[in-house]
Every structure is written in C-alpha cells, then in structure tokens.
C-alpha cells in the first residue's frame, strides 16, 4: 500500500447540546453545548493528547454545537480548523426545534414516506441528505491525502456511513441505523488507488468527568 495516497478520516459527533438535553429535533437550529458537552469535548481532547493523536486538518459544521466541540479539540491539539456548511445537520423542516413529545402529540409525521419526500414537510429528505453526505466526502477527497477530523452531526454522519458502505436509504427510514452518541466517532481509511475503504475504529460517547 502506498501510504502517501491514504486518506484517514475520523468522523466525530459534537458533544451534548442544550437541544440534546431538552430532547429536541435540532436540525439546523443553533443550540450551544451544555456544560456536560463541554466536558465531553475536553475529555476527548485530553485523551487524544495522551495518546499522541493528531490530524492535518479539522473540518466542522458551523453550527455552534459542532463548532464549539471542534474549537476545543483544535485548541488542545493545536490544529487548524475550517468550517464547511456541507457538514451541517439535516434541515428538519417544520420539525426543527420541536421536542419528541411535541412531535408525537401532533400530526407532523406522514404514515408513509419515501426517501425522496421532504422531511418535516419542507426539510431535507433521506435522499437529499444522502446526496449531500456523498458530496461532503467528495469535497475532502479533492484535497491532498492526509488525516482529517470531521466534526458534524448524527443525522448527516449516519448518511456518510451509508455513502461509504454503499447502503441506500429506504422508505419510512427503515434499515440499518448508525447511532452516534455525543462525542462518539468512527475512523475510516480510504485508498484512492484501489478505491478501498477500511473501517478502523468505532468509539462510543466519551463520558464527562
């Protein structure tokens, strides 16, 4: 294997946000981290410092919960940071910001939906999100090979793994789901000369101290 052609991706979900703590469909509503979320980000950064982990570049969603998580890691590991809207969470349409209880109490969800239908009537359906996930990966593959940390959101990262693993969205959101807890991450490597992906690591939520 020619290591100079190896891409090394770590896909990290942000720390706990106020929207997470309040059990909301956050989408692109901009909630900051809670104190627990800040502790999670700090603990993850400390773990990576202790193990000598480093990256060539950190790319993050500009939403506060992802940006704050990325800034914490970047400050501790002394890494450059870029914000990229391709890594935003799903646009949840009319469900954005509502709690799960509010959604269950209302008539917000259709009895049947295809991957092509809008989410929350006006938001991004599964197919649209899947296409954006592929576009987000492609945007990094236009860069030189290296080690990239991507700080994003559970909904989009689920579709990133779909795109890498060749899984298609299904009707009613059925099929396998990749659940990223707060500060959980997945590491993949990619060899472009062979078009070969390897799943290297799956790590669950980093607990607050």
Annotated catalytic sites, by residue?
14, 89
Contact at 8 Å (CB) between 125 and 115? yes
Exposed/middle/buried for 30, CB within 10 Å: 0-12, 13-18, 19+?
Answer: middle
Compute the distance between CA of residue 81 and CA of residue 75 in angstroms, rounded to an integer. Answer: 10
Alpha helices in 108-180, H assignment, sequence order: 126-141, 154-165
Token pair, residue 34, equals 């809670």
Compute the distance between CA of residue 61 and CA of residue 87 in angstroms, rounded to an integer. Answer: 5
């Amino acid at each position: 294997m020619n290591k100079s052609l190896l891409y090394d991706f770590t896909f990290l979900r942000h720390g706990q946000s106020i929207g997470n703590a309040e059990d909301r469909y956050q989408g692109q509503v901009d909630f900051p981290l809670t104190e627990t979320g800040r502790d999670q980000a700090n603990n993850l950064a400390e773990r990576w410092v202790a193990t000598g982990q480093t990256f060539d570049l950190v790319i993050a969603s500009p939403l506060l919960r992802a940006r704050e998580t990325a800034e914490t890691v970047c400050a501790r590991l002394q890494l450059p940071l870029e914000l990229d809207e391709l890594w935003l969470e799903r646009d949840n349409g009319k469900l954005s910001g509502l709690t799960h209880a509010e959604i269950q109490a209302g008539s917000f969800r259709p009895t049947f939906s295809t991957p092509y239908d809008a989410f929350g009537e006006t938001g991004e359906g599964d197919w649209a999100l899947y296409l954006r996930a592929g576009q987000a990966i492609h945007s990094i593959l236009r860069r030189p090979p290296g080690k990239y940390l991507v700080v994003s959101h559970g909904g989009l990262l689920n579709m990133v793994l779909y795109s890498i693993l060749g899984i298609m969205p299904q009707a009613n959101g059925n099929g396998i789901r990749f659940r990223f807890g707060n500060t959980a991450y997945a590491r993949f490597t990619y060899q472009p000369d062979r078009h070969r992906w390897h799943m290297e690591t799956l790590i669950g939520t980093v607990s607050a101290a």
